[in-house]
Structure 1
Amino acid sequence: MADVVLKDVNKRYGSLSVVRDVNLDIPDGEFVVLVGPSGCGKSTTLRMIAGLESISDGIIQIGARVVNDLPPKDRDIAMVFQNYALYQHMTVYDNLAFGLRNRKVPEADIKREVTFATEILGLDPLLSRKPSQLSGGQQQRVALGRCIVRHPQIFLFDEPLSNLDAKLRAQMRIELKRLRERVPTTSIYVTHDQVEAMTLGDRVVVMKDGSIQQVGTPLEIYNRPANRFVASFMGAPAMNFLSVDIVQEGGNVRAVAKEFSIRIPDAQQRLLDKRGHGRAILGIRPEHIHLGPARATDGMTFEGEIEVTEQLGAEMIVGARSADTLIMASRVAPDTRIALREKAPFSIDPNALHFFDVETEAAIR
């Protein structure tokens, strides 16, 4: 195993910059997830680490070696692709053994390594089959096994679950977590799925427009987003945002937008006082908005007109319009009786407000 260090890494295609000043330290044995929307530079960053893309500027270091000019075969990495990249004319056993045979490894050692990988991944009954006879999840396990037999310093995963249906993705996430326990290798995983990022990563790297927006543990990213983009991208349903005026009313500081008005808790009042009153972006996650009035008169209620309901079985998601904004509330009891266009009261968890600067969209802390 080895650590991975990226220093001021850039990638340009002519005048187009697709990765900008990426700095990232990944300790030995850590599982890091790069997440972001399509075109944010996450896969390009992974491919530069693998050596499949050259870098325009900066340094990439794996272990003690700077690998900027090393070809992929000399970087001691193993990569799992989105499309599995299996040899269709070979059996599962031969697919697993192929890389070791190319390196002239003795057949007895190959058999031992293939047995080790198949026991971990449950591939024993499939060794004589060819990829066309396997399900998507089975093919993905073969692709993982092909990496395991090599004992690389680094595992690289490029959206490996995106071709699977929802049930298989959930199963494969469990397989990957089990694999980490058995083979604790430094891993870098690329995905656009924030659920995969939250469930798999020791740390999450959120990217946008080729730049890193925030690096942290899943809970740090979720509970303390660095800016509005991170707050909106991590979480489903997405965080609600309202443009509000911060005003003094009757001894309290309130966030006000048309008919929407809530009291700002004392701790956040002191924070906002430091920058002076004015406009801000208020962020509230749907799970912190509750249908029905607050238990006490605490100034944390508003009224909205119901526009949409989404029945999910275990819960219902309700969308209500207030201050010209559709505000989503989740975790509503699924048997709640509610009608479209009905006015309904909502209460907000006072400890769950986020504020962002109107101009920079950075979190106000």
Structure 2
Amino acid sequence: MIFVTGGAGFIGSNFVLDWLAQSDEPVLNFDKLTYAGNVNNLASLKDDPRHVFVRGDICDGEQVLALLREHQPRAIVHFAAESHVDRSIHGPAEFINTNINGTFALLEAARAYWTALEGDAKAAFRFLHVSTDEVYGTLGPNDPPFSETTPYAPNSPYSASKAASDHLVRSYHHTYGFPTLTTNCSNNYGPYHFPEKLIPLIIANAQAGKPLPIYGDGQQIRDWLFVSDHCTAIRRVLADGKLGETYNVGGWNEMANLDVVHTLCDILDSLKPKADGGSYRDQITYVKDRPGHDRRYAIDARKLERELGWKPAETFETGIRKTVQWYLDNPEWVADVQSGAYAKWVETNYFNREAGQ
């Protein structure tokens, strides 16, 4: 069995679904079910005995340790985190608590469990920490992409909290010999993505006839990674990664946010044309940029390809079309997550800002 934290969130639920599609090894799925955790993501596993779901908080080390001792997993894959930059700007305390204190509590429980293991079980145990490229800060237009040796320079409360958690994980390996692995990924997209992030927000707003908000001039560049490719990379690192190492996971797809939105609009124009014959591009609106908005991220994923043979299977063109089609095919899922609280958040974050350019 493997123990997955945050397995009802966007990336975590995709990982659990992919894992059980590829393997009969059971998953103990541990999730707090905050606003971004959604058990509906896991509906297809409702009657699957390989999937054991437990609601809980990684900050509760006693509960985590009790579950580890009961279920005896061979690995922990740690997704659980507060992950939205805008929310970290409005309310950083939750990010400090979950991402730093929660990771510390999880590490302590996992170390206590691992220390008591013996023989092959102890040698085989792994703790894989899933992190972000945002810990590296921002890049200039001509800078080389982030590598595993790029100095940390986080620029938001979110990325600072993830950087701190990365450092904790590293320290546990070097201090205690704890068998850790860390992955730092670029921007994920795909099914089950909570619609406060750019791609699902644009898809949902376009269909609802709402404005498509663009921060500043829309020229912020991100490296886009299809979520199933990310899941494959994590499986490779978990299976054969070198203990104590970090592996960057990227899609080799640098695109400006405005170009991403144009692509989404064009796909929607093709798959679900507007009744009036117009383009979804007509709904684009510019809003005031968020504070400290990093200009460019890019990932150099050659280490992962060189050492473990991984590279993404999807291009942005193939992955984004699959993503749009999934949202068009699953309107009930979108409606369920767009609660009153979510609607209020979107209004506060995007449409109460001053107009952009």
Larger RCO (CA within 8 A; separation ≥ 6): 2
Larger radius of gyration: 1
TM-score bracket for this pair, using the shorter chain length: under 0.3
Between Structure 1 and Structure 2, which shows a larger proportion of helix residues?
A: 2
